[in-house]
Amino acid sequence: MTPEPFFLRPGEPRDLVGLTRLVAAVAGGLTTLPPEEGFLEGRLQISHASFRSKVRAPGGEQYFFVLEDARTGEIAGTSAVMSRVGGFDPFYSYAVRRERVSHPPLGIEKEISVLHLHTNHKGPSEICSLFLRPDLRASGLGRLLSLGRFLFVAEFRARFDERVIAEMRGYLDEEDRSPFWEAVGRVFFERDFHAADFLSGLGEKDFIRDLMPRHPIYVDLLPPAVRAVIGRVHRDTEPALRLLRAEGFADTGEVDIFDAGPLVSVARDDIRTVRERRRAPLRAVHPRPPAEAAVCMVANTSLAGFRAAMAPLRENADGTPDLDAATAGRLRVQPGDVVQWVRPRVRSER
C-alpha cells in the first residue's frame, strides 16, 4: 500500500507558468478558469490573499487549489471554492419552472416548462474550476481534487455560506457546440458559445445584463433536440456530478444561462465529507504505511498551509491516527499536530 505522490494545496503566484500550461489543454475551457495569463495571474494573487485574510463571514474570497505531483512539482489539476457568489458581479441562472395553463370550456389543462432569468447578488458559496489532467482521470485523483476542498471547508466553516452550489458544465455536441446556446444565446449575443463563456469567465458580465432576454422563455417553443439538453451535463463532467451526488448535492431546478448545465446544491454541514470527517492529534509517524491502515483522504488543519492527500491511515483504539513518513512530510505534520480525515465513499469515477 504505497501513498499517492500527489497532494492538494493552495495555489500560489509561483504556479502561474504551470497553471497556464495546464488550462491551455482544457477543451472548450472552463468558465471560471479561462486560458488568459493576466486573468490567471490575478486569480492566483486573489487566492493567495484570501488564504491569508482574517474573515468573520464570507465576503467573496476565492480559495484556489492545485494538485501537485510531489515527484516533479508539476501541477496536475485544479479546484476552487468561492466563499460567496454575486456581489458586484451578479450570478445569473435560469430557473426552470413548471407553470399550469388551462381553459375549462375547451377542456384544456396542461403544464409547460418556462425559463425565468434569476439574478443573485448575495449568493451561496460555490465550488468550481475542477480540472484533472486527462491521463490521470482513471487514477482516483479526481476524488481528492473535488472532495479535498470540503475538508478545508469543514475546518474553516465561518469562511463559507451555509449553502454550497456547483454549476455543472453543460452538454456540448461532437462538434463542441452547445445546442442550447445556438438556439437561445446566439440570438441575443451574436457570438459563439466559447467567446461568450470566455468573457463571462473574465468577469466581463455587463453584456449579460444588457443583452439577456428580459422575458421568460417557453421551453416548448424550442426544438426537441434543444429541450433534451436542458439540465444535461457534458460527458467529461459526469464523473464529477456522480461524486457530488454521493456527497449530498441535489438539483436546484436552475441551469446555466449559456449551456443549460444543471446547478446542484447542498447545505454546507450536510456535505458527507464535512459531516463524517474525523479530527484528532497525530499519534505516530512510521517509516512505511502502518499495519491495518486504510486509504483515506487526509489533511492538515492549516489555513494558508493547507495540504490534503489520499494515503493509508491507521485509526487507533483511542481515536488518534498514524501515518507513514512520506504522507506526513507532504502534509507537513508531525506527531501531536491535529489532522483530519475521511474515508471516500465512491470507489470509481467511471
Strand partners, 97: 114
Any idea which residue has 487507533 for its cell?
316
For 66-126, the three-class secondary structure string (H helix, E strand, C coil) is: EEEECCCCCEEEEEEEECCCEEEEEEEEEEEEEEEEEEHHHCEEEEEEEEEEEEEEECCEE
Cα–Cα distance measured from residue 347 to residue 78, given in angstroms and rounded to the nearest whole number: 21
Q: What's the distance, CA 81 to chain centroid?
A: 7
Q: Which residues lie below 8 Å from residue 278, measured CB to CB, with a gap of 6+?
A: 315, 319, 321, 340, 341, 342
Residue 328: how many CB atoms within 10 A of its CB? 24
Strand partners, 77: 67, 132
DSSP 349: -
Provide the residue type at 315 as one letter: E
Query: Catalytic: which of 116, 121, 215, 234?
Result: 234
DSSP three-state, residue 166 = strand
- Give the dihedral sign, CA 68/69/70/71: negative
Q: Which residues lie below 8 Å from residue 202, measured CB to CB, with a gap of 6+?
A: 34, 36, 39
Q: Is 121 a catalytic residue?
A: no
Q: Which residues are tagged catalytic?
A: 234
